[in-house]
Amino acid sequence: MTPIAEHYQGDIPWVPQATILLVRHGSQAYGTALPGSDLDVRGVAIPPQRYFTGFLYRFEQAEQKPPLPDLTIFDIRKFFQLAADCNPNIIEILWVDPSDILYIDHWGRWLLQHRSDFLSQKAKYTFSGYAISQLKRIRTHRKWLLNPPKAKPERRDFGLPETTAISADQMGVIAALLAKEETVLSVSEDVMTLYARERSYHNALTQWAQYQTWKKSRNPSRAALEAQFGYDCKHAMHLVRLMRMCREILTEGVVFVRRPDAEELLAIRNGAWEYDQLIEWAEKQDAELEELVKTSPLPHSPDRVFLDKLCREMVQSHFSILEDAVPPNTASK
């Protein structure tokens, strides 16, 4: 069994042959895996030629979820697009430790040779942006832990009648005008009051639904840590990792996937940092990264024309080799 077939058990028969790179991903690649952590696998594939020249066949990625191995293999074109945007989950595929490469061939090595060409100052807004989204979740979950919603919101709680007096179209028009900071002269004060109450009610409903989903989907051991320390420590670990990786990219032009600070990250996951300490650290780091990006030696954005040419050359080379019936270099690790 090849390394690809060992992990991919999907129903697209050409995926194993078309895959040029396959790596460990997530905690296994960061060095922060726990004994019960799942193995995440990510890869890149060059689909058969009919997916490029015809119109009947479409492919973006092959996916499978547990109980099968958690795996995603991206079409090379989608991969290039996301990597050029410095998407953290995608760019990491190019920078895993060599020991985490499960399979690589000639085109996979060609791709890795150009991994630096995907890096740019956009990392500030992707890596740090993901980190800030983690911070928002931490704050929201802490609010739910300390003051959980008591009951599903009702319309009467917001002084609203049982059925809305404002249509969805009217709500949309008012929202659009307010977003443009225009004065809604043609709308009465009573309608604006109803609009504000409807918005508050729908926001409360959304929060209630999110709270219910959060309660149902929480891992028991993770929930116990949240209850003990008053916030989501796993989100905190990823927040710290992302911001540190962002700094490393902006200053050194390197993505350290295998974390040198893995031991500390695991300690943070286990509640080593107080909530206030985390918030203070995150806000300070975000401000520093905002300044750091101004002096980063990385380009403002990657050379997309060059990357497009590289992608085309790789695809054309792949098809040329297959047409000549010359087997590719399928060395694996």
Q: Facing residues of 103 across strands? A: 22
User: What is the spatial distance between Cα 152 and Cα 317, in angstroms, rounded to a whole number?
Assistant: 59
| 127 and 260 within one domain | yes
| 127 and 99 within one domain | no
| 83 and 28 within one domain | yes
| 190 and 74 within one domain | no
pTM reported for the whole predicted model: 0.83
pLDDT for 185 equals 53
Mean pLDDT in the chain? 90
Domain holding 89: CATH number? 3.30.460
3-state secondary structure at position 73 = strand
Domain that residue 77 falls in: 3-118+302-323
pLDDT 10s digits, 216-271: 888 888 888 888 999 999 999 999 999 999 999 999 999 999 999 999 999 999 99
User: What is the spatial distance between Cα 333 and Cα 330, in angstroms, rounded to a whole number?
Assistant: 10
User: What is the spatial distance between Cα 79 and Cα 308, in angstroms, rounded to a whole number?
Assistant: 12
| 266 and 153 within one domain | yes
Task: With respect to residue 329, please indicate whether it lies within any of the assigned structural domains.
Answer: no
User: Hey, what amino acid is at 21?
Assistant: L
- Of the given ranges (2-6, 44-48, 253-257, 260-264), which has the lowest mean pLDDT? 2-6
N- to C-terminal Cα distance for the chain?
A: 14
| 260 and 147 within one domain | yes
| 306 and 290 within one domain | no
Nearest to 218 by CA among 194, 197, 236, 234: 234
Q: Facing residues of 19 across strands? A: 45
Nearest to 90 by CA among 67, 119, 128: 119
| 156 and 71 within one domain | no
Residue 207, class by beta-carbon neighbours within 10 Å (0-12 exposed, 13-18 middle, 19+ buried)? middle
Task: With respect to residue 132, please indicate whether it lies within any of the assigned structural domains.
Answer: yes
| 107 and 185 within one domain | no
Q: How many residues does the chain have?
A: 333
